[in-house]
Amino acid sequence: MVDFKKSVIYQIYPKSFYDSDGDGLGDLKGVTEKLDYIRQLGADYIWLTPFFVSPQKDNGYDVEDYYHIDPRYGTMEDLEELSREAGKRGISLMLDMVFNHTSDRHEWFRKALAGNPEYKDFYIFKKGKKPGVPPTNWESKFGGSAWEYVEQFDEYYLHLFDVSQPDLNWDNPKVRRRIQDVVKFWMGKGIKGFRFDVVNLISKGEFRDDLEGDGRRFYTDGPNIHKYLQELNEATFGTDAEIITVGEMSSTSLENCYRYASEDGKELSMVFSFHHLKVDFMGNEKWVMVPFDFCKLKHILFEWQTHMAEHHAWNAVFWCNHDQPRVVSRFGDTKEYWKESAKMLATVIHCMRGTPYIYQGEELGMTNPGFHDISQYRDVESINHFRILQEKGLTRENAYQILAIHSRDNSRTPMQWSDQKNGGFSQAEPWIEVNDNCAYINAETEEKDEDSIFHYYQKLITLRKKYDIVGYGDFEALDEMHPSVLAYRRNYRDQKLLVINNFYGKEVTWEADESLKDYTCILSNYEHHMMDGKRIRLKPYEALVLYREA
């Protein structure tokens, strides 16, 4: 059995990681070239976002062919080489499987549109309520209706994401078998990790108008979801104890996650949930400008930590991915306390109970790029919502401000390798602009600086390897009502780990519920600490990891 509790996973968005052949797009060979960097950091797995053949309407989350690699990213030989070279460095690969939908260019969908009844039943086609009115009022996650009219059938097909991403019909056993074949194929290539994209949306429930929301309550964590996951597990990855899995769970509930990620191993190894990343939304509405709610953030994190532990279920813990803005821009301070706040945020996540995920560049403290013109954006979701916001009456300026905060492109700018041309990412003009601050935020500079964010992440990973309590301890929330400190304790056998974080740029005194005199500080983003009995004076964004054995 692999010990995913002691593992750390590094996420790579290949398009923006490293361009080895000078076409402005990152590629698989580029990942191979940078493996020593990831080994130096200390990660155990690399999760690669989709590189399968795709028209790239949603950067590869629109798969045209699950069995072949998009030539833009390289060849099967390149992947095999990457897997071999990673293996030599003790790193395994995790592939990203998009099974809620395919691209509209997938052979199955083309056959469906050509009128082949067998393949039409691979997707979700329905009659409209009346002429010109879709079957339900559900909204696409990327804006607009979730239904697209097809004239030759006088029917609509469902697409929860872009119109070019028709949803698969998992209630059809033939679809489930074809999906199993895909997973088995990649297992045959020696792949030891899988991420399943929006996998809690695969079992659709009732097709009814949602009078209170956008429709999500009718297809999220749907009626057969656990059955379908257990079936996939038994038929594929469940047969190999060396494989780890993570499900991306959109708008999910704790109750469902106890089952998805139960230690009994019937479904998945762990889950991503996103409630803690909606604390700067208004309800479910992302395209607004509101300050983040610290108490809510803390409450959600604590709730998930505590309850998942009580139910013997395992979390993926993270701030960043290719859909989220950069965390230091979001919850930290990119100006006065850039380094301190980036390190503090890393401490919060890496000392929690769960498997930490690092998104490329997070370990350097990369920030949002501050795009200010629509021509700089590439993401279909951002481009759609830029239009929708203005249709709702917002000025262009306001729409830009909202995009600059929430756009998924914030995390998709090229990895900053050096202060050279294009941040050392590519010799050619990159597919999306490089952040100007690559002049000082870059891997080359940080590798040389012992006090850098990069080295701090390295130390956090080392802690997880060295101290069993980081992987195996329970979780105890502390001082939940405190308005600026996020603190918790982990307990394991005779060991204790106390993690104390000042989430703001103001000094604050924090009082523990026990004496701190037997604790040793094993990591911090400041050199000197002011501790006295139970009290600690915390400096701006100070993070402290204290350890003791009874």
DSSP state of 19: -
Q: Which position's Cβ is nearest ligand TEU?
A: 61
Hey, what are 336's tokens? 């006065």
98 binds ligand TEU (CB under 6 A): yes
Which CB sits closer to ligand TEU, 192 or 322?
322
Distances (CA, A) of 355 to 19, 167, 263, 298, 441: 29, 30, 13, 18, 26
Among the options 64, 197, 280, 379, which is catalytic? 197
Phi and psi based region of residue 541 (left: phi greater than 0; alpha: psi -120 to 50; beta: remaining): left
64 binds ligand TEU (CB under 6 A): no
Identify the residue among 54, 203, 250, 501 touching ligand TEU (CB under 6 A). Answer: 250
Sign of the Cα pseudo-torsion (516, 522, 524, 529, in order): positive
381 binds ligand TEU (CB under 6 A): yes
Instruction: With beta carbons less than 8 A apart as the criterion, state whether 38 and 454 touch.
Output: no
Q: Counting Cβ atoms within 10 Å, is residue 502 exposed (0-12), middle (13-18) or buried (19+)?
A: buried
Q: Among this protein's residues, is 171 annotated catalytic?
A: no
Identify the residue among 19, 27, 44, 58 touching ligand TEU (CB under 6 A). Answer: 58
β-pair partners for 50? none
Lay out the site mask for ligand TEU across 123-162 (x = CB under 6 A, - = otherwise). Answer: ------------------x-------------------x-
Nearest-approach distance from CB 221 to ligand TEU, in angstroms: 14
- What kind and span of H or E run contains 463? helix 453-466
Which CB sits closer to ligand TEU, 304 or 488?
304
Which CB sits closer to ligand TEU, 50 or 424?
50
User: How far is 524 from 515, CA to CA, in rounded Å?
Assistant: 19
Among the options 27, 44, 167, 248, which is catalytic? 248
Binding positions for ligand TEU, 275-294, rule CB under 6 A: 286
385 binds ligand TEU (CB under 6 A): no
104 binds ligand TEU (CB under 6 A): no
198 binds ligand TEU (CB under 6 A): yes
Hey, what are 229's tokens? 């996951």
Q: Among this protein's residues, is 197 annotated catalytic?
A: yes
409 binds ligand TEU (CB under 6 A): no
Nearest-approach distance from CB 116 to ligand TEU, in angstroms: 25
Q: DSSP string of 236-292?
A: TGGG-TT-EEEEE-TT--HHHHHHHTBTT-SS-SEEE--GGG-TTSBTTB-SS----
Which CB sits closer to ligand TEU, 196 or 547?
196
Nearest-approach distance from CB 517 to ligand TEU, in angstroms: 45
Nearest-approach distance from CB 62 to ligand TEU, in angstroms: 7
Nearest-approach distance from CB 325 to ligand TEU, in angstroms: 11
Nearest-approach distance from CB 408 to ligand TEU, in angstroms: 6
DSSP state of 50: P
Which CB sits closer to ligand TEU, 31 or 63?
63
Output b/e per residue, 98-113; b: 16+ Cβ within 10 A: bbbbbbbbbebbeebb
Task: Label the pairing between strands 476-478 and 485-492.
Answer: antiparallel
461 binds ligand TEU (CB under 6 A): no
308 binds ligand TEU (CB under 6 A): no
Query: Considering only CA atoms, which of 302, 234, 219, 305 is closest in space to residue 268?
Result: 234
349 binds ligand TEU (CB under 6 A): no
Identify the residue among 78, 167, 323, 362 touching ligand TEU (CB under 6 A). Answer: 323
Query: Considering only CA atoms, which of 457, 455, 411 is closest in space to residue 435?
Result: 411
Question: CB count, 10 Å around CB of 39?
Answer: 15
Nearest-approach distance from CB 98 to ligand TEU, in angstroms: 5
Active site residues: 197, 248
- Interface residue list for ligand TEU (CB under 6 A): 58, 61, 98, 141, 161, 197-198, 248, 250, 286, 322-323, 381, 408
